[in-house]
Structure 1
Amino acid sequence: MYLTDTKEVTAEVTVIDPAKLAELVGTQNEYLTIIEESLSVVINPFGSVLKISGQEEMVAEATAILENLATLINKDITINSSDVVSAVNMAKNGTLDYFLDLYSQVLIKDVKGRAVRVKTFGQRQYVNAIKHNDITFGIGPAGTGKTFLAVVMAISALKKGLVEKIVLTRPAVEAGESLGFLPGDLKDKVDPYLRPIYDALNAIFGVEHTERLIERNVIEIAPLAYMRGRTLDNAFVILDEAQNTTNAQMKMFLTRLGFGSKMIVNGDISQIDLPNKAKSGLVEAQHILQNLDQIEFVEFTAQDVVRHPVVARVINAYENFGK
């Protein structure tokens, strides 16, 4: 057995505008730390130059990542840690050439006027699927942006007048805790489980505007059981935590689709909380609906996680342990 060459090299990245170096390195060199820890390199800023040291292949990847991020900054696009994580993941997957393409389209502006864009190749596939299909399934781990992007696409459709209302729902399955012990009526009991949806709405509309739209029933947030017997026309309907639906519930939900409507079904099949080992309606739907027109399944992986890099490692560790 022969050892591969682990040649140590040093490379440099020059930032065109030295005044923008702080945007590239992040607060207390936060962005550089993400790259260093992910690729086992050392990055040192010197004036408007970044010096990168480490194994040749890793230095080449780090250099390409920093050059891509510098290109965004020089186009006056503000980056954050999730952009850096996305660039690192795409470099590891060999898809970094498509990184700048992710920033060619703004989905919507948030309540603070910041542009909302897709962050990963998987997210771009997801958004394209939503645009071109009546029903889109987003399946994958937490942190991949499924819920947030679904809400973004729903709000965008509402603002463009493509739909008249947004309906957001999830099954009221108790993940190790009993709803009965929570205070208040049914809405009070279920609302904490819908927190990610509220957070996404508040990020785009703001808290006050979101509350007004809910009061006017332009946005409806309800447990899945409330969907029975209805037909939802001219609506953008999102089912979250769909791994916790039964087969009957999934069929009931999907058959609510009316004219002029779109549906998004999101879930993580590694986090099924159904009692008595009941079969997940989301898992069954993957087999039953796979080849139907106007229905598309998009699968996310740990490489699409845009949270702290450790989150992706945790997901991979649990998946490997399960295997």
Structure 2
Amino acid sequence: MNDVQSCYLLDTSVILDDPLNILRISENNENIVVITDIVLAELNNKKDDMRSDAGFRAREFFRLSDNDKGSTITFDDLPDCVKRDSDAAACRDDLYYRLVLPFEPSVLGNRDFDNEVPLYIVYRSDYRISRVFDEKKGLNDAKIGEIAKDYGLTLLTNDISFKIAAEVQDIASESIRNSRVENADAIEFAHSYYYNDEPFVDDEKEHNDFEQMTFIQKAKSEQNEIYETGIQRYAINMHNTLEWCDFDRRFGEYFDEELVRPINLEQKFYYTILTHPQNSVTVVAGSTGSGKTLMALQAGLELVKEGLVEGIVYARNTVTASDPQAELGYRKGDQEQKLGYFMYPLYSAINFTIEHQTKRSIEAKVEYTGNINTTKRENATEQFMAKYNIEVMDIAHMRGTTISRKFVIIDEVQNMTNATMKLIGTRMGEGTRLVVMGDAHQIDHPFLSKRRNALVTLLHKAQHSDFVAGIQLRHVIRSEVANWFDKNL
């Protein structure tokens, strides 16, 4: 418990990041949370936006607010930390409202928190800054800053320009970084160890389930020189026990010839994790060409063939590279045709698999060989998808559904907010396996960055959880042209 209660004034950006930030900032009502009428108006303007995540979170805020637990209050009814440093003359004509936000107990996890958080709203009819502010943009920020200064409150904002402007005016300001992950590239799930006689993991090092281990044997020559023998053994950690992986056997003569084999160590670990009987959720990060989608499809096909799942569902975030005219609603055709534009990674993996199967088939029927026309190629793809019960789905249509006994592939997760990822995760039913994938260096979402998106959040979670299996695919198989553009632009 803090000896002195802290008071925070929230900028609109903090609530649009996640309304749950109000609950986090209150810290079980140890801190006081305040907003202004300006923030309320900006949220109100956002709530009718049905196409953006910001609009969704604005509506979430008002859903929380839609109760009978609000009332007008006087200055004397304000918490002491709000009144303590206030400028009596500047705040003389302000009005106040106390709104209680009831958060669902489920969002509290295992913490014994009070799920009702009081939110104090300051109304000011005449902002002094309005008389002198002559910039085209930023007036609302300036008004919020005026309230922060007059009441001596700490401003919380994720808008860096607003934060700088506040600091210049000597207004205490902070940013909330609850969903920010620093240096996601450094998150590692693969580890290498050297051994002499028998492989072992140092007892002092803790590993979560599904972390990947490579053991490299070393020996001493007659001249007392240490050298690597060339013998390597592989394992994944399961319940603090090494589960050995015989990749030669797993992907050798016993591997289904109709499936595309993993071609490097990372892909072999990836495939093994995806098909592991105790794994339900996998997060994988890797650039284009690392085999994310192709290997996920192969794992799903194996699970379908073995009867462990009833089909494969592929969903890809339909955020385009800053081209609003290319978004789903602007495309021609019905839903299936619209989605087809965004499903090229899946179709590419399917056609590659068909070509692989055709090369090994005694009698090639309509399957794609690379020498047939587009119509036959489309027929082959459709037949393949029907055979293995593969369906594509728009993420927006997952709300209100439950997906059971399926192998679900979610692509382009770096362009998703945590709220969208939560929506998807809560749609998963019994017997379903979920793999989410993306490349944190390919952000197209206007409100996300490489430090704040659902992919890096899940990678961070996988570091500290046995429930989520994480893997980074760093080995990329691509053309010289693609490599050049990746490294030089």
Per the TM superposition, whether the score is higher than 0.5 is yes
Q: TM-score, normalised by structure 2?
A: 0.41
**Aligned pairs for 1:109-124 within 5 A:** 109-110=257-258, 116-124=260-268
CA contact (8 A) 1:141 1:315 kept: no
Task: Kindly provide the amino acid, as one letter, of the partner of residue 299 in structure 1.
Answer: Q
Per the alignment, residue 266 of structure 1 pairs with 437
| 2:470 maps to which of 275, 282, 297 | 297
Aligned position for 1:84: none
C-alpha change, 1:314 and 1:220, in structure 2 (3 Å) is same
Q: CA-to-partner distance for each residue in 1:170-209, whole Å, 9 max, x for gaps?
A: 1111223222443223332221211110122233354535
Cα drift, residue 136 of structure 1: 1.0
How many angstroms does 1:214 deviate by?
4.8
Note the C-alpha offset of 1:165: 1.4
Q: Distance in 1 between matches of 2:261 and 2:428?
A: 28
Kindly name which structure, 1 or 2, has the bigger radius of gyration based on alpha carbons: 2
3-state SS of 1:136 partner = strand
Answer whether contact 2:301 2:388 (CA < 8 A) is retained.
no
Mapped partners of 1:287, 1:95: distance in 2: 35
Mapping of residues 132-151 of structure 1, within 5 Å? 132=276, 133-151=279-297
Q: Distance in 2 between matches of 1:208 and 1:158?
A: 21
Give the corresponding residue for 1:191: 340
Within the candidate set 101, 104, 120, 2:252 is matched to 104
2:312 counterpart (151, 166, 171): 166
Q: 2:460 aligns with which of 268, 287, 307?
A: 287
Task: Name the structure, 1 or 2, with higher relative contact order (CA <8 Å, separation 6+).
Answer: 1
Higher mean C-alpha displacement, 278-287 vs 224-233? 278-287
Structure 2 spans left out of the alignment, 5+ residues: 1-227, 234-246, 355-366, 368-377
Moved over 6 A (4+): 94-100
Work out whether residues 315 and 392 of structure 2, in 8 Å CA contact, stay in contact via their aligned partners in 1: yes
Provide the aligned C-alpha RMSD in A: 3.0
8 A contact 2:415–2:453 mirrored in 1: yes
1:313–1:249 CA distance, 2 compared to 1 (3 A): same
> What SS class does the counterpart of residue 283 from structure 2 fall into?
strand
Give the TM-score taking structure 1 as reference length: 0.60
For residues 426 and 229 of structure 2, the distance between their equivalents in structure 1, rounded to whole angstroms, comes to 38
Residue 193 of structure 1 aligns to a residue in which SS?
A: coil
List per-residue Cα deviations over 1:260-291 (Å, max 9, x = no partner): 22111110000011123463111222223432
Partner amino acid for 2:267? Q
1:247 correspondence with 2:418? yes
* CA-CA distance at 1:210 after TM superposition: 4.1
Q: Which residue of the partner structure matches residue 273 of structure 2?
A: 129
CA contact (8 A) 1:107 1:156 kept: no
Structure that is richer in helix per residue = 1
